[in-house]
Amino acid sequence: MTRLVRTPLFVLSVATLCVQALLWAQTPVPETVIHRVDRTRLMRDVTTLASPAFEGRSTGTPGALKVRRWLVDEFRAAGLTPGGAEEFLQPFTLTSRDSAASPPGGRSAQVGRAAANVIGRVPGRERQRKLLVVTAHYDHLGIRNGVLYPGADDNASGVAVLLAAGRHFVRNPPRHPMMFAALDAEEIGLRGARTLIGSPLLRRDGIAMTINLDMVSRSAANEIFAAGTYHTPWLTPLLQDVQRRSGVRIRLGHDRPASLAGGLDDWTQLSDHGPFHEAGVPFVYFGVEDHGDYHKPSDMADRIDLRFFGDTADMIVEAVRTFDMGVD
């Protein structure tokens, strides 16, 4: 995730912490925890994506090309329908403007490099309905000064859950048509998302909502944030319904100006849901807060909490199912 400025939790006001504690205390005990994801396969996918073979998945590098081919094979094996301009691929080229948008440590040599989103679709039973778009970026920081940045949580984890969701909805056709987009160049100004939302592959007025997954595998507090309800309050009861069947605590927030959130930072523009929000598309962004391995070589698959990761993946698939049933 491109989180350039973060506000630590310890600077929150006492009043904000008290309100949050009250909300936590009111979180209902799950009635029935739903399991929909093969956890062995989930962990295998995230381990593969974060492996040295893919060289940290920096946009435009040989490692990114390898992971792109792997994703196409996985999309095809899952039974997704090709959704890109070139089969499963939506190619684009990085520009000097993209290089300027890189996070600290980015390289101007990225200009002119070939990038591509990997896109698949599920038709849906009621094809006249608007599209649900599920996104997760597959790029990361690559190899810097000879050191590999595996990017297991950021964002091999989101891509692994995206694959699990795609497989689920191929087996269990949804009401709405769905697009599953593994996006490139998130770490370079959300370039993959901007390319997708600005392309003929999507009609902006034909999108019901987007669900973005970015950093979803690690939380010592067993919690994940669902950002977006500040902008689209009607999504709140749907997420409350999902909580009743989830083994992880869903927290709402990180989607409003800090002045209205007691100092809690605003993630509205910090990952691939940002360009969709700018286009007027409702979004829910699932992600954890930063941990000590964020954007470091130590963000490795063996540091993932499989119980939390599996419960979160189950919750996300259940959330997409709930949005499919509850969104017009």
* Predicted confidence (pLDDT) at residue 12 exceeds the cutoff of 60: no
CB 228 within 8 A of CB 253: no
More confident residue, 77 or 14: 77
Dig out the tokens for 162 from the structure: 């995206």
In the chain, what is the greatest distance between 2 CA atoms, to the nearest angstrom? Answer: 53
Kind of pairing, strands 131-137 and 207-213? parallel
Residue 24: which H helix or E strand, with range? helix 14-25
How far apart, in whole angstroms, are the C-alpha atoms of residue 189 and residue 97?
9
Q: How confident is the model at residue 3 (pLDDT cuts 50, 70, 90)?
A: low
β-bridge partners, 149: 142
- The residues, ordered by sequence, that sit 6+ positions from 69 with a Cβ below 8 Å of its Cβ are none
CB-side neighbour CA atoms (13 Å) of 72? 16
Torsion on CA atoms 163, 166, 167, 171, rounded to nearest 10: 170
Q: How confident is the model at residue 320 (pLDDT cuts 50, 70, 90)?
A: very high
Percent of the chain whose pLDDT exceeds 70: 87
Residue 7, SS3 per DSSP:
coil
How far apart, in whole angstroms, are the C-alpha atoms of residue 19 and residue 174?
37
Residue 224: which H helix or E strand, with range? strand 223-227
* Predicted confidence (pLDDT) at residue 98 exceeds the cutoff of 90: no
CB 42 within 8 A of CB 48: no
- The residues, ordered by sequence, that sit 6+ positions from 79 with a Cβ below 8 Å of its Cβ are 167, 170
Task: Give the per-residue pLDDT at 102.
Answer: 54
Task: Give the per-residue pLDDT at 27.
Answer: 54
Site of tokens 């360009």: 275
- The tens digit of pLDDT for each residue in 145-169 reads 999 999 999 999 999 999 999 999 9
Task: Give the per-residue pLDDT at 6.
Answer: 40
Task: Give the per-residue pLDDT at 11.
Answer: 33
Map out the domains of the chain with their CATH numbers.
36-326 (3.40.630.10)
Report field, pTM of the whole predicted structure over 0.95: no
Kindly tell me the burial class for residue 218, based on how many C-beta atoms sit within 10 Å of its own C-beta (0-12, 13-18, 19 or more).
buried
How far apart, in whole angstroms, are the C-alpha atoms of residue 304 and residue 47?
10
How far apart, in whole angstroms, are the C-alpha atoms of residue 244 and residue 130?
26
At how many degrees (to 10) do helices 39-49 and 62-78 cross?
Answer: 160
Among residues 201, 200, 251, the alpha carbon closest in space to that of 224 is found at: 251
